[in-house]
Amino acid sequence: MSATSFDARRWRPPPLIKNRHLRWAVGIGAAVYFTVAIGSLEVNWMRIYEGLDRGWAFVLAFTQPDFTSRWQDIREGLTESLVMTVTSTVIGILISIPIGLGAARNIAPLPVYLLCRGIIAVSRSFQEVIIAIFFVAIFGFGPLAGVLTLSFATIGFLSKLLAEDIEDIDRSQAEAIRATGARWLQFMNYGIQPQVMPRLIGLSLYRLDINFRESAVVGLVGAGGIGATLNTAFDRYEFDTAAAILIAIIGIVMTAEYASGLIRARVQ
């Protein structure tokens, strides 16, 4: 803060961006950009006006969701989503652990490190849906494509965070284990694993949660799960069924979040 801050009449809270010219440039730039960007939104007011009825119908549908008339489809879709979630999370964790070990600079040699980091970068760059489109093209329609998509996405998430966690471990414990003459596997088991285990469990539970949410999306492109049912409901303007599905998804996500919160609190 400059000396002016002692002048009671002229004091102002310090701004976020200290350089005054930069502050003005950012402000004006943002204003110009938003004017242009919002101007480039082609808003078809007639279409929106017509859609308002449908929008209101959707809001009303939330007050009386229809679970019954498509119950069979909803039940099958949700079961498939849950099944895909469990399978893909387990497979994803099993693959991410070795890749995570390989991507930690302090325990992996350079070529392995670069390879594993490359896999992580590819997995993180593309949205699940794009990967799902390819897996559906390659493996055919059905939940297997979804499971593989979610497993692949899990690798990018879990390996990266696991590797960062391993890079942050307390070196002295690992050194102590190594000093006893432990073999590589024993070194992993006693020097590394106890330090990262609580976080790994927490992250796995979090990923289980994410995978369920994403499993609702990969169905849109034919990779199994509740997404296909939801898409059909929207296409037919059956908003009450769509509302029922969304409420079910929100309910399951909330339950999962609450449960994983309890488990994480116990583990950490």
Partner 1 sequence: MPAVERNGTKLWHRRTTGRQMAIWFGWLCGLALFLYCWQIVSEATTWFFVWDAPRIAGDIGSRMVPPRWSYVDKLWQPLWDTINIATVGTALAIVMAVPVAFLAARNTTPSATFIRPIALLIIVSSRSINSLIWALLLVSIIGPGVLAGTIAIGLRSIGFVAKLLYEAIEEIDHTQVEAITATGARPSQVMAYAIVPQIMPAFAGISVFRWDINIRESTVLGLVGAGGIGLQLQASLNVLAWPQVTVILIAILMTVLVSEWVSAKVRHAII
Using CB under 8 A as the criterion, which residues of the chain lie in contact with partner 1 when the complex forms? 13-14, 16, 33-34, 37-38, 40-44, 47-48, 51, 54-55, 58, 79-80, 82-84, 86-87, 90, 125-127, 129-130, 133-134, 137-140, 142-144, 147, 213-214, 216-217, 220-221, 224, 227, 230-231, 234-235, 237, 242, 246, 249-250, 253-254, 257
The least CB distance from residue 185 to partner 1, in Å, is 18
Neighbours of 163 (CB within 10 A): 26
Nearer of residues 5 and 171 to partner 1, judged by Cβ: 5
Cα angle 135-138-144, degrees, rounded to a multiple of 5: 55
Nearer of residues 108 and 204 to partner 1, judged by Cβ: 204
- How is residue 267 written in tokens? 């583990």
The least CB distance from residue 54 to partner 1, in Å, is 5
Nearer of residues 83 and 182 to partner 1, judged by Cβ: 83
Nearer of residues 164 and 171 to partner 1, judged by Cβ: 164
The least CB distance from residue 109 to partner 1, in Å, is 26
The least CB distance from residue 154 to partner 1, in Å, is 14
The CA-atom distances, in angstroms, between 44 and each of 38, 59, 128, 130 are: 13, 22, 31, 29
Per the listing, tokens 């002229």 go with: 10
- CA gyration radius for the chain? 25
The least CB distance from residue 263 to partner 1, in Å, is 12
Nearer of residues 171 and 186 to partner 1, judged by Cβ: 186
- How is residue 208 written in tokens? 């289980």
Q: If you write DSSP's letter for every residue of 16-35 in order, what string do you get?
A: SS--HHHHHHHHHHHHHHHH
Neighbours of 125 (CB within 10 A): 9
CA distance 5 to 11: 5
